[in-house]
Amino acid sequence: MTIDPASPVPKYSQLRELLIDWIVDSGLAVDDIIPSERELGTKYGLSRMTVRQTIDLLVSEGKLYRVPGKGTFVARPKIEMSLVLASFTEDMRARGYEPGSRDIARRITPASGHTARLLGIPPGSDVHHIERLRTADGEPMAVERTNIPTSLAPGLGSHRLSGRSLYQVLEEEFGIILDSGEQTIEAGICDPADAKLLGLSPGSPVLSMQRRSFTNGACVELALSTYRADRYQLHSRLDRHPGG
Ligand code: 16G
pLDDT in tens, 9-40: 999 999 999 999 999 899 999 999 999 999 99
Q: Give me the pLDDT at residue 118, please.
A: 97
CA nearest ligand 1 atom 10, residue: 88
Residue 47 has pLDDT above 90, yes or no: yes
CA angle 85, 86, 89 (to 5 degrees): 160
Cβ of residue 165 lying under 6 Å from some atom of ligand 1: yes
Cβ of residue 223 lying under 6 Å from some atom of ligand 1: yes
Per-position b or e across 61-91, b if 16+ CB within 10 A of its CB: ebbbeeeeeeebebbeebbebeeeebbbbeb
Q: Give me the pLDDT at residue 236, please.
A: 85
Cβ atoms within 10 Å of 145's Cβ, excluding its own: 16
Q: CATH second-level architecture of 11-74? A: Orthogonal Bundle (1.10)
Three-class SS of 132-201: EEEEECCEEEEEEEEEEECCCCCCHHHCCCCCCCHHHHHHHHHCCCCCEEEEEEEEEECCHHHHHHHCCC
CATH of 79-233, one of 3.30.1440.10, 3.90.1150.10, 3.40.1410.10, 3.50.50.60: 3.40.1410.10
Overall size of the chain counted in residues? 244
SS3 41: helix
The mean per-residue pLDDT over the stretch 209-234 comes to 95
Torsion of CA 21, 233, 241, 94, to 10 degrees: 100
Q: How far is the CA of 122 from the centre of ligand 1 (A)?
A: 24
Ligand 1 atom closest to 169 (CA): 17
Q: How far is the CA of 91 from the centre of ligand 1 (A)?
A: 9
Per-residue pLDDT of 91-148, as tens digits, reads 999 888 999 999 999 999 999 999 999 999 999 999 999 999 999 999 999 999 999 9
Cβ of residue 147 lying under 6 Å from some atom of ligand 1: no
Cβ of residue 93 lying under 6 Å from some atom of ligand 1: no
**Looking at this protein, which amino acid is placed at residue 123?**
P
Q: Which strand (E) or helix (H) includes residue 91? A: helix 88-94
Q: Which of 159, 177, 225 gets mutated to test ligand 1 (max ligand atoms within 8 A of its CB)?
A: 225
pTM check: above 0.75? yes
CA nearest ligand 1 atom 11, residue: 223
Q: Which residue did the predictor score with more confidence, 242 or 54?
A: 54
- String of DSSP letters for 78-89: PEEEESSS--HH
User: Is residue 223 within 8 Å of 147, Cβ to Cβ?
Assistant: yes
Q: How far is the CA of 89 from the centre of ligand 1 (A)?
A: 8
Cβ atoms within 10 Å of 165's Cβ, excluding its own: 17
Ligand 1 atom closest to 167 (CA): 17
Q: Which of 83, 145, 211 gets mutated to test ligand 1 (max ligand atoms within 8 A of its CB)?
A: 211
